[in-house]
Structure 1
């Protein structure tokens, strides 16, 4: 089943769009931008008919780019400072039109990293893309269509990306863009005077260049994992399962844990058990923390268009994770995430402003993890499902990525808001069957060993 590329063009910001004053024309990347993966993030969004024409979608994208000019610019180095920057040159985003002479249902269900999903969004690896935003519209014989996108992580995080996509949908429908994008990348991240570095950022956000970088469980260990394919399992937890899980975990607790804390604790423990880690081996859960909800002085607005992410790193031995009640694991997660507060974010800014990163040649630890670790992206509350080009909201949203051992995504399992939650977990195939067995049978044993 072939997906045929019919056209590929550049879409520049509309001349009459937005009306906001932009200054300057060169936007220096912040410390948070520089910390992220220097790569594209991609997702696909599937819609039932009716579908707007590609001409209408293209015009809507041009209007959205007039409001979100970062995505129509290019990355480079600012000569005056020597720092990486976004050049607001309106060079444009890539718009690709594709066609499939078969129904969308024939390739369902879709899994991240599979060849068919790779063909549903633009490829940046093969064409040496300079665009910071690439989109592909694929139309199927049944009338359904899929919008796939690839957007550069150095420009913005998941929330910034989705706000640009929502603006595209709003512009296509001819309604006001909301939230209004906030482009100021300076005022919210001023260092304190005097600097107050209150936390340890070496070995947390930064490492020396010569330190071993395992690329999230890709280290050269002499175990079966190196020769084993990493696969992704997509599981939907019903509202009833989630309520039962949370009820059991929180029983007798004066302050209930959140649904995410309970579910992540459950997944972390199931992964650890399935891997068969020795009891004394430490495992770390790397959890992305959104600074928009944490920073206070000043607060970063939801419409901010850059990155505001740091990571929490709860750590425990396999024995500690498996021997006690799941509430203990949930408490460990809650405590470590709560530690990444306004003071921590400000300390990070002050550490970068101190010059230590440049003087010591430190680099980001975004890609660094050990083979017994997990990395969690909880995008359950990022409003990807609100994307609508005029024919109704999408029926499927899915992040796409190359499966990496220990990577976990948590997102809504449907656009209906029915309380169900989907988890996408990537593990080596030789441990995946054990992990699947543990996912649901573990609930009756939440208060004891699994």
Structure 2
């Protein structure tokens, strides 16, 4: 596939927006602070292609009046902290053309095509203050179909917020009014406020992750990775849940969720596929949405990051040799820790740090200096509760939606099947040398249950 004739423009809000420096919460500026890619595939539009492009640009300009942080830029301030400059600099809009039909993509892996259909971000050669927070690419195929590839800064929006933006943009593009405006003020998560307590509670998720016993961290990060999409039928999902819940006790108020069971299965499978020694330390990283866990709950459509990063650790021998329910319970125990008090303890811990940049997975101004979170570890992010499908910009709903290019060893995303039949898809990135064994074990172990 060849993508060509790219043209670039900056789409700015259609009217004057509030010009201000917006304080970011600690949850905004730690963990993943790069852009998060997603991609939508559409059949051909009955309208002229130039009309499609103009409609997308005009509606984007209009919706940025409400989601004006996405038109701003980031800057570094004291203590390695980030600040959001709402300067209406705009979102980058890329037009492109591909020399194949959409149907021809079925023979290609996501990693082979997505990087051409979703605009990349050059963190190394562009200063932080110049990087757009929203970058998108509309690519037309020879059949008349097109893709919409988005890259949205994780500093500005988590998954819930990003999908709220996409949903409202689609409504406006269809000619409908805004349904629910975003709640912009980060003060509700104490952005810019001093810590409430100076007590330094230890939070394990901010420690350096486990590394391989007999390999160098540097050698592992250089290994080639690949991406795959693993489908689980509703029956396979239910099989995993049943197996996990076989060992539940009467003290448990509810059985394990599909996320807990699938995550436990991914963790166990990765330990096997990577052929870890029994004593090898390993971690599973994930995030928890805190919108309903705060007291009072956060306002409807809070726009920002309302997630805390969590970690569960063990040894590979422990994870492999114990039942699925045991591993699921380790994940459940960590999830249950997250309440209003815990979230505020995380915020206070970060507020008490003189230098915040060490708690990021990427420092855009100084290159890729993050802790390597690959082998022997995994990350499992859930999109199971997110409204990821149904983005109709006026030419029908997408025929396919997917996470974009994730090239970090061990990263995975769980999303529900489009047909609402109880199936799920696991988008997984793993080292090439381990992928085939992982896929074989992933399904074999379910069939053996």
Q: Distance in 2 between matches of 1:251 and 1:41?
A: 37
1:337 equivalent to 2:335? Answer yes
Which residues in structure 2 correspond to 1:208-227 (within 5 Å)? Answer: 221=216, 225=220
SS at match of 2:291: helix
Question: CA separation in 1, counterparts of 2:356 and 2:37?
Answer: 30
Residue 417 (structure 1) shift: 1.4
Match of 1:427 among 425, 430, 448: 430
Given the alignment of the two structures, is residue 26 of structure 1 paired with residue 21 of structure 2, yes or no? yes
**Secondary structure of residue in 2 paired with 1:316:** strand
1:405 lines up with 2:409 in the alignment: yes
Distance 1:412 1:384 in 2: 9
In the alignment, does 2:375 pair up with 1:371?
A: yes
TM-score (norm 1): 0.86
Check the 8 A contact 2:157/2:304 in 1, yes or no: yes
User: Equivalents in 2 of 1:180, 1:69: separation in Å?
Assistant: 11
Q: In 1, distance between residues paired with 2:218 and 2:185?
A: 48
Q: 1:284 to 1:389 in 2, by over 3 A?
A: same
**TM-score, structure 2 as length reference:** 0.86
- 1:200 aligns with 202
Structure 2 residue runs of 5 or longer lacking an equivalent are 362-369
- Of 411, 416, 419, the residue aligned with 1:416 is 419
Taking a change above 3 Å as real, the CA distance of residues 192 and 222 of structure 1, as seen in their structure-2 partners, is closer
1:317 to 310, 315, 318: 315
- 1:384 aligned partner: 388
1:439 corresponding residue in structure 2: 442
User: Quick check: 1:199–1:344 contact (8 Å CA) kept in 2?
Assistant: no
Alignment RMSD, CA only? 2.9
Distance (Å, rounded) in 2 between the aligned partners of 1:97 and 1:430: 36
SS in 2 for 1:240: helix
Give the Cα–Cα distance (whole angstroms) in 2 for the partners of residues 231 and 370 of structure 1: 13
Determine if contact 1:44/1:148 at 8 Å carries over to the other structure: yes
8 Å Cα contact 2:72/2:84 also seen in 1 = yes
* Residue 38 of structure 1 pairs with residue 33 of structure 2: yes
Whole-Å Cα distance in 2 between the matches of residues 82 and 324 of structure 1? 42
Contact 1:159 1:382 in 2 (8 A): yes
Deviation string, structure 1 residues 416-439 (Cα, Å, up to 9, x no partner): 212110002222222222211111
**Taking structure 1 as reference, are residues 5 and 51 closer, same or farther at Cα in structure 2, changes over 3 Å only?**
farther
Structure 1 residue aligned with 2:285 = 286
Query: Structure 1 residues 198, 175: CA separation in 2 closer, same or farther (over 3 Å shift)?
Result: farther
SS of the residue corresponding to residue 28 of structure 2 reads helix
